[in-house]
Structure 1
Amino acid sequence: MKGIEYLRKKLNKHIDRVNLRYKQYDMKYQDADVGITIPPELRIRYKAVLGWCAKAVDSLADRLVFREFENDNFEINEIFNMNSPDIFFDSAVLSALISSCCFVYISKGEGDIPRLQVIEGSNATGIIDPITGLLNEGYAVLERDDKGNPSLEAHFVKGKTDYYKDGKFKNSIKNKVEYPLLVPIIHRPDAVRPFGRSRITRAGMYYQRYAKRTLERADITAEFYSFPQKYVTGISQDAEPLETWKATISSMLQFTKDEEGESPKLGQFTTPSMSPFTEQLKTAAAGFAGETGLTLDDLGFVSDNPSSVEAIKASHENLRLAGRKAQRSLSSGFLNVGYLSACLRDDYPYLRSQFYLTQAKWEPLFEADVSTLTLVGDGILKLNQAIPGYADSGTIRDLTGIKGAGE
């Protein structure tokens, strides 16, 4: 066992990375000013705000809708249904996509139903078992004071949870669960990063930063585009200085000849074009879309011809694959939550292998339209004609998301 001091240091090591992703998602991160032509005092007036990173997360999170557990031999659906599932699952999915993982804190609630609380990755960490995806030891900050310092902490180990108030041991609550009551919900784990990978990648942050710089330059250039710079040559040295604001907004200016009969000559500098900025912004959008599996339509570059549902599915093939991968990795975490919750509810140390028949079911990533329903109906009819009883109402619901009248 590593101990709580080791876990505190581990959390402090990764907290900046997680907070960076949350700032990017909340559109509050201030990028470093780069550039050699625009003065800082002018650039700060035209700070750009862009929500592409938030769009990358929400476009996937909004499609990941958890339905229920199938073959629920231990009645874990009841536990989730008593813990506001509409809020719980959406909160866990969104937090996992932003920070690569979140944690579910399990505790005894009112009656026999355990209480489930989602804790973001900046407030919890642990030592993970790469085989089961459960923790061998966990640590979470349950409350922070006004200055952001931990005021209530929890140390999770096998058979008990220790609580610390203002850094000092407060009390301990024992249980009969074989694992710590802190479960990671991980997005895209692998052997190198067992705690997963964030949906907000470094490449995605670069393309957003590049687009923000382009918008700032375009905004400043637009001022000169709206009011082109003008000049006057040949004015006598004895003439009164020309008021620049009056010269800018006046529809007509009057100039008289000097004693030698010479008159001033008016001119205007070439107006800068806005086209290069539009092309730059579209280049950044194309790079970001390729990185996240989105399309230019998703980022505000609307095409002339509206797409059908099938065309949208085809253009979002990478997003669909990312969604299926996220479903597989998140399902394991939710099943682990149900497993430990059932152990705590029944006060009995079940084996993890006893839950192998229980499977997580998700709604389809893309909602079915009339055309899809027609195609699915024809396909199911032909399959059942070839192999009677091959596809049932459950198969149709998995394909379309529509619940039958008899279910």
Structure 2
Amino acid sequence: MKYKGIGYLRRKLASKKERCETRYDYYEMKNQMVDISSVIPPEFRWLKECLGWCSKAVDSIADRISFVEFSNDNFNMQKIYDMNNPDVLFDSAIISSLITSCSFIYISQKVGEMPRLQVIDGRHATGIIDPITNMLVEGYAILEEDVLGNPIIEAYFIQGVTYFYERGEKPYKIKNKAPYPLLVPIINRPDAKRPFGHSVISRTCISIQQAAMRTLKRSEVSAEFYSFPQKYVLGLEPGAEMDKWKATISSLMQISKDEDGDKPTVGQFAQQSMAPYVEQLKMLASLFAGETGLTLDDLGFSTENPSSIEAIKAQHENLRLKARKAQKTFATGFINAGFLAACLRDGYTYSRNQIYLTKIKWEPIFEPDASALSVIGDGAIKINQAVPGYFDKDNLKELTGIDYSTSSSTSNIDDMFKEEIDE
């Protein structure tokens, strides 16, 4: 097989890194506002507004995607993940994928130990993807960099070999029995044109948040005029002095008549209203909510509180669909990573068609409340009456998120308590 080489992948990563950095800036609320106003006074130019809508869009999906376990785990991949802090690893890979469209799991192994799994974000890794298997044909990753962002340790991945390049040291390689490079992509919403997926922080999200930040800045400037309405004095003699600050904050001000008995006319301009800024910000929040599947409540504009879990689901239907889609594509990546880690652990080149039965179980996207549990229970009873055994403890757990073993233990305690009362 003819490879493109590490030089090509370095250039490819450099061309994509700025885009990934921009997405992370918006997620971490460090992005700069593009100021297009020419009427804001220079003394207010230094104001820096901050808004967390893009962070909310990412976290709202990431917080609803929770890994449970592997089913039909023929290669005992669960044990490999359990030895690699799964609570941190899964969440880290999912959040990074939602931000930059793709993250990577780097697989390594020390002699005599279990394979090690490390999440690398989209700013520090890339590769050439096989669109059929969603594995990499070759990959490149920056494993360590200095404070200036310059690589210290780089790795180049191909089938059976990983090459390491350490600054100031001679390159070396480590061979393995894996049938693919030991760098596995975890992709959000891939398609034929963009096999490395799409970020949740889209161009539309960026544009809307920029507009909202400019609205916040304008409202901040206008608040000065809202707090201290402008006043005017007509008919004041030339050369007459007036303490402007005292006139601004004083509740009672005395202006005497002149020697001719004339007095100036004092007035106040209409007080500026903040309502237009609130309405504009709410309009932008509606646009952002429509783009991301959130609601106005999620973005800080309170509306009617939904009365049940079903009402919450109905409001977040688009968010539920996005989370369900993300679960499908993420599952493929995590299974691929577990498969290669199993090859590394056993020192044997397994065939990929041996893992097609392995699936991932996730927590319910929306945790059911008491009324939803009652509806699920009634429905399960009626369906089992029509088709005996259709619902069991496994698929009910997927619907409710409640572990059968915990329920069973509680039931036994309740039975024991009931027997003591009867005695």
- For 1:257, the equivalent position in structure 2 comes to 257
- For 1:34, the equivalent position in structure 2 comes to 36
Check if 1:159 corresponds to 2:160.
yes
Quick check: 1:56–1:199 contact (8 Å CA) kept in 2?
Answer: yes
> How far does the alpha carbon of each residue in 1:204-238 deviate from its partner, in whole angstroms, 9 at most, with x for none?
11111111111111111111011001111112225
TM-score for the superposition, normalised by structure 2: 0.94
Write the distance in 2 (CA, Å) between the matches of 1:238 and 1:338. Answer: 85
Check if 1:377 corresponds to 2:377.
yes
- For 2:8, the equivalent position in structure 1 comes to 6
> How far does the alpha carbon of each residue in 1:24-56 deviate from its partner, in whole angstroms, 9 at most, with x for none?
0000010221123213542323x2100000000
TM-score for the superposition, normalised by structure 1: 0.97
Where 2:106 maps in the other structure, the secondary structure is: strand
- CA change 1:41–1:351 in 2 (3 A) is farther
- Report sequence identity in percent: 58
Where 2:75 maps in the other structure, the secondary structure is: coil
Where 2:138 maps in the other structure, the secondary structure is: strand
Quick check: 1:43–1:216 contact (8 Å CA) kept in 2?
Answer: no
Write the distance in 2 (CA, Å) between the matches of 1:111 and 1:382. Answer: 53
- CA change 1:280–1:238 in 2 (3 A) is closer
> How far does the alpha carbon of each residue in 1:137-192 deviate from its partner, in whole angstroms, 9 at most, with x for none?
00000011122111110011111111001276421111111110000000000000
Write the distance in 1 (CA, Å) between the matches of 2:233 and 2:336. Answer: 77
| Matched residue type, 1:13 | S
- CA change 1:25–1:40 in 2 (3 A) is farther
Write the distance in 1 (CA, Å) between the matches of 2:349 and 2:364. Answer: 34
- For 2:174, the equivalent position in structure 1 comes to 173
- CA change 1:62–1:110 in 2 (3 A) is farther
- For 1:16, the equivalent position in structure 2 comes to 18
Q: CA RMSD in A?
A: 1.3
Check if 1:117 corresponds to 2:118.
yes
Where 2:69 maps in the other structure, the secondary structure is: strand
Quick check: 1:71–1:359 contact (8 Å CA) kept in 2?
Answer: yes
Write the distance in 2 (CA, Å) between the matches of 1:204 and 1:376. Answer: 37
- Tell me the CA shift for residue 113 of structure 1: 1.3
| Matched residue type, 1:328 | K
- For 1:220, the equivalent position in structure 2 comes to 221
| Matched residue type, 1:376 | I
- Which structure 2 residue ranges, 5 or more long, are not aligned? 410-423
| Matched residue type, 2:347 | D
- CA change 1:114–1:238 in 2 (3 A) is closer
Where 1:63 maps in the other structure, the secondary structure is: coil
Write the distance in 1 (CA, Å) between the matches of 2:80 and 2:164. Answer: 24
- For 2:235, the equivalent position in structure 1 comes to 234
- Tell me the CA shift for residue 258 of structure 1: 0.7
- Which structure 1 residue ranges, 5 or more long, are not aligned? none
Write the distance in 2 (CA, Å) between the matches of 1:139 and 1:67. Answer: 30
